[in-house]
Every structure is written in structure tokens, then in C-alpha cells.
Amino acid sequence: MDDRIIDLHTHIYPAMLARRAMKVAGREHDDYEKLPVKENLLKRMEEEQVALSVVLPVVTKPANGTDVNRFAREIMRPGLISFGGLHPDCDHVQEEIEKLKDMGMAGIKFHPPFQMVKLDAEKYDPMWHHINRLGFPVLIHCGSARVKGPYDLYPDGAERIIRLLPDVPVILAHMGGRTMDPGMETLLYRFPENVCIDTAMSAERQEISDFERMVAAMGPERVVFGSDFPYGTQKAAVAFIKNSCFSETEKAMILGKNAERILGNIIHMDSWEQMTGAGGRTKL
């Protein structure tokens, strides 16, 4: 199999909500071609030869889960798959997890600052145990959401969660929380092998030397490519990694091979060509 690029961290929304979603970045007046809708993501993927993008919905309120995940399921198509969003305070949370499994979601996304939850609270232990039993990969937003707040999650909070998820991949987004102090970084690098970090927004907000230092400490085999589209761009994110100091083999791992391993239960060899086309480019 040729090396293919997998973007494990993107966001798209229904057209009526796309402009509102850009307010968090102060970009609600962007031209339509820059808004986070499906056709714009697919165009960017074609331009940058990204074979597969993973959409990460966020359920900000327990009552919104059904609508958010219905949209996430509807947008899946060749080259585009989705995690499910889950609010940990929703009613019958274990049943909701099973629904996401039945819907064919590739994993589960959490965003503590937007969901306004202390994600490492003991009351959520049964939820984590159930996710682990069902074999769901988990991706968690780490660090702040533009400004620091009481619900931000860093490696010290993630440590307790990770102990409850020994059998599934755990992706700590945004390099595990880039604004962490050195002690937090040391803890991050000691996490078990099922824990990875993603590169979302590194191209826009991180010096290349700092990025290279963190990747070397974590190990390139435990870093996955994410652009954070539309808040970051796939063009900048791909170039950032390609211009880094790592070997071609290590760059290929970051850009796709590691995500391919994490998503193995979703992108089997038999379905991969159907999703991306024989040439490895997204079918439009």
C-alpha cells in the first residue's frame, strides 16, 4: 500500500451552522469557500492529496447528541468518516455509546472546555469502562479553547482516564495540550503505548523546533496528523510535517501510517480502495 495522508482531526457542520461555528475563531464573515462544510473540506483534500479525513463532532449539551450524531453519520462517504460525539452527562450514557457503535462511528470525541465538564471526575468511570469494552478509539481535546478555563484538560487529568482505557487507542489532541508546563510534558511521554498525540493547529501556533522536540520525545510512531480544519488548513499542516527534521519513513508514519493503525477496525484493506480510489486520492 502506498503512503497516504490521513487527517484525523477535522470539523464540518450543516450549512446553516457553519458560519456560527467560525465565531470561535473570529471568522464568521469568511467567504463561503472557507466555511466548514463538506464540499469545502473535500476540495481541500483533493488539493493536498489527503486520502481520508476524520470528522470530530462536539456535543456541547446532552440534549444535542441525537442531532449532532445524525449529521455526523449522514456526511460519511468515500474519503470521509466520523467519530461520534458524546456528552458524558447525557441520560443513559452507556446506551448512547452502543448507539454510536451501531451507527458505525470510528471513535468517540470529547471536548471538556466546550462541554464544560471535569472529564477526569470519578463519576464518569463507568462510561470509560464501557467504551473500553466496546473497543472505541477515544480522542480528547487537550489544553484550552483559545483562553484558559476551569475545564481544560492536561496530562495530569488525562492520566486517570487513560488508566481506565487500557485496550483502546487514546488520542490527546493538540500535542497533548501545548500550553502545558515541563512537568506535564514529562508525564505525557511516560503514558502507555496506546496513547498518541495529534498535530492539530501545530502549523499555526507552534514553532517547528518545539514541534520537533515534542515529537522526538513522544516518538514519531505515537504522533498522528491533524489539521483542525477549518481553524487550521491542511495545506499548512501537511507542509509543516514535510518540512520537519524527521526521516521520510517517520514523516509517513505521522501523516498516515499511525492513523491507519488506530483506525484499522474501520479502514480494512478491502474497503480502503473503495473509500479513497486506487490512486490514493479522495473520490469526489
- pLDDT computed for residue 171 by the predictor: 98
- pLDDT computed for residue 36 by the predictor: 87
DSSP β-bridge partners for residue 53: 7, 80
Share in percent of the chain as helix, strand, coil (round to 5): 50, 15, 40
CA distance 56 to 9: 6
- pLDDT computed for residue 284 by the predictor: 39
Quick check: 85 and 107 in contact, CB under 8 A?
no
- pLDDT computed for residue 267 by the predictor: 66
- pLDDT computed for residue 279 by the predictor: 41
Buried b (16+ CB within 10 A) or exposed e, 105-143: bbbbbbbbbbbebebbeeebeebbebbbeeebbbbbbbb
Around 139, how many Cα atoms within 13 Å sit in the side-chain half-sphere? Answer: 32
Looking at 3.90.230.10, 3.40.50.1860, 3.50.50.60, 3.20.20.140, the CATH number of the domain 5-273 comes to 3.20.20.140
CA distance 196 to 257: 13
What are the boundaries of each domain within the chain? 5-273
State whether residue 88 is helix, strand or coil: coil
pLDDT (tens, 9 = 90+) of the chain, 284 residues, equals 358 999 999 999 998 888 888 787 778 777 878 888 999 999 999 999 999 999 999 999 999 999 999 999 999 999 999 999 999 999 999 999 999 999 999 999 999 999 999 999 999 999 999 999 999 999 999 998 878 889 999 999 999 999 999 999 999 999 999 767 778 899 999 999 999 999 999 999 999 999 999 999 999 999 999 999 999 999 999 999 999 999 999 999 999 999 999 998 676 544 444 454 444 444 43
Burial zone of 249 (CB within 10 Å; 0-12 exposed, 13-18 middle, 19+ buried): exposed
- pLDDT computed for residue 269 by the predictor: 40
Quick check: 65 and 86 in contact, CB under 8 A?
yes
State whether residue 44 is helix, strand or coil: helix
- pLDDT computed for residue 68 by the predictor: 97
- pLDDT computed for residue 282 by the predictor: 42
- pLDDT computed for residue 270 by the predictor: 41
Which amino acid, residue 37? Answer: V
Quick check: 135 and 167 in contact, CB under 8 A?
yes
Which amino acid, residue 135? Answer: G
Which amino acid, residue 222? Answer: R
- pLDDT computed for residue 32 by the predictor: 78
Burial zone of 204 (CB within 10 Å; 0-12 exposed, 13-18 middle, 19+ buried): middle
State whether residue 68 is helix, strand or coil: helix
CA distance 145 to 54: 20
